[in-house]
A and B are shown apart, each in its own frame.
Chain A
Amino acid sequence: MGEKYKNEFGVFAERPQVEKKYYNAKYIFTGLAVFLILLILPLAPNLGKTVPPPQRQLDTPVIQKMAEKDRQCIMPTDWMRANHMQMLVDWRDKVVRTNEKGAPNGRDFVSPDGKKYLASLTNTCMDCHSNKEKFCDQCHNYVAVAPNCWGCHLQEGKKLAEAK
């Protein structure tokens, strides 16, 4: 007679006497192996590939034309590098939802040094960084992210008044 114990139904039952050994080891380990293989399968195509580190280029015509002291992004470079994606999402919501009641919105962005910018990827960012392949894509490819901005937004966006 084994000892009695209480299970989840409040019933006292006999604790089952089970031999201590590995049951179904064959199936368990095959299953685990299949699971592991499936898990790492998506990584396989990248195996052994070396992706060159990003080489961002900043020598676009607009930047070249600027005086040395004006060559400054709307926020410090380090901050931009870390936060531009969140900033763009934030701009996006505020600009698209302009005049929505109760939501913060507006089309202007004021940088810490007091300069005012139009909050716009195509019309502000891409003005200076007109070389998407040499600028945006460099890092995006390196860290294997694919932002879908370009599914809709055009690289060569123009300010409305100038667009023909």
Chain B
Amino acid sequence: MLEKALIGTKRYYLLLAVLGGIFALGFLFYLQQLKVGLGITGMGRDVSWGFYIAQFTYLVGVAASAVMVVLPYYLHNYKAFGRVTILGEFLAVAAVTMCVTFVLVDMGRPDRVFNVFKYPTPNSVMFWDIIVLNGYLLLNILIGWNVLECERHSVAPPKWIKFLSYVSIPWAVSIHTVTAFLYAGLPGRGYWLTAIMAPRFLSSAFAAGPSLLVLLCLLVRKYTKFDPGREQIQSLAKVVTYATLINVFFFFCEVFTVFYSQIPDHMLHFQYLFAGLQGKARLVPFMWFSIVGMTITAILLTNPKLRQNENTLAALCGMVIITTWIDKGLGLMTGGFVPNPMEKVTEYAPTVPEAFITLGVWALGFLVLTLLYKVAVSIKEEIRS
């Protein structure tokens, strides 16, 4: 099957070359980071996690969202999704690859990464996160690959694959729950110290992931002979609609608790993000754009006409991706660290090398995604012809 990734059109090779080039550029900057230290990023003693961990968190969500196509197919026997499960699973593989790379890139001592296994520490959430993430990666590679292979030979997938598919459903929920627990269990970080963190993560994941999948389906249809199907895209659009609505709802639940209770430890972070604190307000426009944009998008998505028109649907999905990314990428990380434990404000902004390294990791992910989708789509085309 892998051979399908080697042969393609000029456009396909060009895409690979561009992604490979961006990745190589990011890698050069990473070499500099290895030599000089993480000081070349915008992080510091007050905001000690930045862009990298933010992307990691966001992408765990994208990975988890594969469950939104797997679940209806396997548990509710919703046959239509049979066509797109593979796209969901391969998207998950690419997303987890990026997650793992972002964690590595964020590490001060990547040379010692194996200490995590050498001295396993079950009381650390990070230990569990590494286990569930790698497990999820493995599951999706196994399931996706085998199902595709069976499809190619038009035989039913073996029993154990079916079993693994069932396992992968709660597993997907677990990766994002455990990732939320990384933050939600820390005393003294009021912005993160909320029981609704994991549900919020899941809702934003199930909004953003399927949105990305809708866009990818549209792209696949445009540029290949394989059509993921209108019904499938419309079903995904419904998932996006409900998840975005729930995500907005959760946000306002949070806002109510924080501001009605008036506990400063929790309020200050929101104040920094949405109004600025001690005269520093770098993120304010982003945050307002994010929450207002997300709310409007959610409302628009409830209108079936706008959903059924694939142009407006694509635009709305794009909005969901951008707004959830600001909320969970930019806002979550910086918001949690500002103000610092001494209630001082140090702002954060990524530096140029940091941005290039981030871009490089994304390019790597999309490279993996392109290769996997090429295989999947070629096989699907082959079956149809």
Contacts and interface: CB of A to CB of B under 8 A. Distances in A.
A10 B150 CA distance: 11
Interface in A1-55: 9-11
Contacts of B155: 9-11
B162 interface: no
B146 to A, nearest CB: 10
Interface size class of chain B, counting residues whose CB lies under 8 Å from the partner chain: under 10
Contacts of A9: 150, 153, 155
Nearest to A11: B155
Interface string B143-165: 00000001001010000000000
Interface in A64-94: none
Nearest to B155: A9
Contacts, number: 6
Secondary structure type dominating chain A contacts = loop
A10 B153 CA distance: 11
Interface in B151-201: 153, 155
User: What bracket does the count of chain A residues touching chain B fall in?
Assistant: under 10
A31 to B, nearest CB: 12
Nearest to B157: A9
Nearest to A148: B111
A102 to B, nearest CB: 13
A119 B150 CA distance: 62
Contacts of B150: 9
Nearest to B153: A9
Interface in B105-162: 150, 153, 155
Contacts of A11: 153, 155
Contacts of A10: 155
A9 B150 CA distance: 8
A17 to B, nearest CB: 19
A10 B155 CA distance: 9
A11 B152 CA distance: 13
A45 B143 CA distance: 45
A11 B150 CA distance: 11
B150 to A, nearest CB: 7
B95 to A, nearest CB: 29
Interface in B253-276: none
Nearest to B158: A9
B385 to A, nearest CB: 20
Contacts of B153: 9, 11
A74 to B, nearest CB: 27
Nearest to B150: A9
A10 B159 CA distance: 13
A94 B153 CA distance: 59
B161 to A, nearest CB: 12
B151 to A, nearest CB: 11
Nearest to A7: B153
Nearest to A13: B153
A137 to B, nearest CB: 22
A99 B150 CA distance: 58
Interface of A: 9-11
6 contacts: A9-B150, A9-B153, A9-B155, A10-B155, A11-B153, A11-B155
**Which 6 residue pairs are nearest across A and B when measured between Cβ atoms?**
A9-B155, A9-B153, A11-B155, A9-B150, A11-B153, A10-B155
